[in-house]
Amino acid sequence: MNAGDYLKSKSQETETALETCLTSWKGAPPKLMEAIRYSLFAGGKRLRPALALGAAEIVSGDQQVALPLACALEMIHTYSLVHDDLPAMDDDELRRGKPTSHKQYDEATAILVGDALQSMAFEEITRTGHSDVVREVARAAGVSGMVGGQYLDIQGENKQLSLEELQKIHRCKTGALIAVSCRCGAQLGKGTVEEIDALTHYGEHIGLAFQITDDILDVVGDEAELGKPVGSDEGLHKSTYPALLGLEESRNLAQKAVDDALDALESFDEIADGFRALATYIIERKN
Amino acid sequence: MNAGDYLKSKSQETETALETCLTSWKGAPPKLMEAIRYSLFAGGKRLRPALALGAAEIVSGDQQVALPLACALEMIHTYSLVHDDLPAMDDDELRRGKPTSHKQYDEATAILVGDALQSMAFEEITRTGHSDVVREVARAAGVSGMVGGQYLDIQGENKQLSLEELQKIHRCKTGALIAVSCRCGAQLGKGTVEEIDALTHYGEHIGLAFQITDDILDVVGDEAELGKPVGSDEGLHKSTYPALLGLEESRNLAQKAVDDALDALESFDEIADGFRALATYIIERKN
């Protein structure tokens, strides 16, 4: 199983569902919907939806039950990018090679695009009928998850962080939502407690591998392939894995996280091959 | 029944529940929690929680079932104020007589306070176990409700709006969340379809009365009592009811909305007296 093909097939399912969701919004201001669409269809990899769909498929053979969750996760991820790019936050002008939302429109629109996407995400998850899934996603997205991590990240600029502090930031900022994608996908697929735990651990490990690789790409990546400037972490004086550990040790740590992710999948047969390919892809990707 | 006493008793219930909710967040960055607390306990009237608790009480005699909803509504309302006050939006420096979040802290913190409050709100509502209530609140808060209304409001600055356009903005921006407070409170109290509809209509009418009165207070209000500068709408060249209709006609329209709200309560006995007092209070208030 090729990771690119796997991501692509899950991504197509997600895009169709996102399209259906957006066109169902009658009565909303058309220009605001256009700005939402601009960011939501900006060429993201749809990693979180792929994890939600894949986890449901692994435990039940059916990924459809997780489609509303997949859409919601992409909406939450997109809202966080739109807000993170704002001048008061990371002040980024390019995202995936295109002007960021506040450059393409204006700051007020970008703030409201993010706010609207978050509400839309929670409405979308209610289609699953599972209050506990809404709760887990809200927790992963909020003050002790993604938003809390972004806050710590900004507070950590221009400071020398310890490895422990850096890991805490990333566990919150990106790890929590990636792990909950796997976890809630498995819950919607009615996996056993052991299956849900195994896929949660897989998500935690690839989340770590993903973030270390992001830091490495910001040092050694190709600007054209990344679609954003390299060296932006250094410009913001952010603590990163390469800055703290050096490139080689960072690569070792990422590989260790991938190995741990693969171990977590041990009890699954070839139905989890897509997830296995994905784990390796995450540290080998160029963007 | 005195509206002030009614609001105060509901507000005390809400504040206790909000306090319990905030202290339950372990692992979140303490400074971010402090900034959330600053905005959430800034002396708001807790109108939306009062409506949710009151509606549940009217149909069932028990308001406790609506407490998580009450907290969530106040979190959503507070997040919208924090974001609306941002420099890129209404650029307000004072709110209820205190520096706004981005003045007290900084813009990045204010953006994240709002984002975190929205996630927290949806987690809180899941305590009711009702996915449909999560869905209705998400819809009222989102792109065809509160956020959509705020977008239209900003787009309408420096433009001459028609009365119809102005009403659409307010129906979305403030009306939707006020109406859903009553509606979902009644749903959680297991009201009949007729009761839920009656309380929804009550909410729609007082939402309109509330907004017209806000516009009037921005013209004739007392800055010290309001806790914010008067004349800010004029400064932003916003269309308002007084600007479109004159003060007297605006007051008549607000009175008409209150009368409609009272009519909607016709089928309820004295258990709805608090709601009756509230309707009148809304257009007589000084802040």
SS (H, E, C) B69-109: HHHHHHHHHHHHHHHHCCCCCCCCCEECCEECHHHHCCHHH
What pLDDT does B223 receive? 63
Give, in order, the Cα–Cα distances in Å from A177 to each of A52, A144, A146.
11, 11, 7
Q: Spell out the SS3 assignment of A52-76.
A: HHHHHHHHHCCCHHHHHHHHHHHHH
Lowest mean pLDDT among A155-159, A246-250, B28-32, B134-138: A155-159
Interchain CB contact of B224 with A (< 8 Å): no
Pairwise CA distance, residues A247 & B118, whole Å: 38
Give the pair of three-digit tokens for residue A193.
């407690």
Contact B143 A116 (CB under 8 A): yes
Position B16 scores a pLDDT of: 96
Model pTM? 0.95
pLDDT(B215) > 80: yes
Q: Find the CATH number of the domain harbouring B206.
A: 1.10.600.10
- Is B56's Cβ below 8 Å from some Cβ in A? no
Distance from C-alpha of B155 to C-alpha of B240, rounded to nearest angstrom = 14
- As a whole number, mean pLDDT of residues B223-234 equals 62
pLDDT score, position B253: 95
Measured N-to-C along each axis, helices A67-84 and A30-40 cross at an angle, to the nearest 10 degrees, of 100
Decide: B111 and A111 in contact? Cβ < 8 Å.
Answer: yes
Under the banding of pLDDT at 50, 70 and 90, the label for residue B230 is low
Q: Give per-residue pLDDT as tens, B140-167.
A: 999 999 999 999 999 998 888 999 999 9
Total domain count for chain B? 1
| pLDDT at site B226 | 59
Give the domain range for residue B220. 3-284
B94-130: pLDDT as tens digits: 988 899 999 999 999 999 999 999 999 999 999 999 9
**pLDDT score recorded for residue A234:** 63
- Give residue B127's pLDDT: 93
Note the pLDDT of residue B26. 80
Residue B204, token pair as written in the block: 């729609």
What pLDDT, on a 0 to 100 scale, did the predictor assign at position A87? 97
- CA–chain centroid gap for B106, Å, is 24
Over the Cα atoms of chain A, what is R_g?
A: 18
Sequence-distant (6+) residues with CB within 8 A of B213 are B254, B282, B283, B285
| CB interface of A with B, residues 74-133, below 8 Å | 79-80, 83, 86, 88-89, 106-109, 111-112, 114-116, 118-120, 122-123, 126, 128-132
Residues of B in contact with A112 (CB under 8 A): 83, 147, 150-151, 154
Q: Which of A148, A89, A124, A112 is nearest to A39 (CA)?
A: A112
What parts of chain A have a pLDDT lower than 50? none
pLDDT score recorded for residue B25: 84
Of all residues in chain B, the percent with pLDDT exceeding 70 is 94
CB contacts < 8 A, A to B, total: 154
Query: What is the structure's pLDDT at A231?
Result: 65
B67-88 average pLDDT score: 97
When pLDDT is cut at 50, 70 and 90, the band that residue B285 belongs to is confident
Share of chain B above pLDDT 90, in %: 83
Q: Which residues from A are below 8 Å from B71, CB to CB?
A: none
Instruction: Give the pLDDT mean for B272-278.
Output: 97
Burial class (CB in 10 A: 0-12, 13-18, 19+), B231: exposed
| Model ipTM value | 0.94
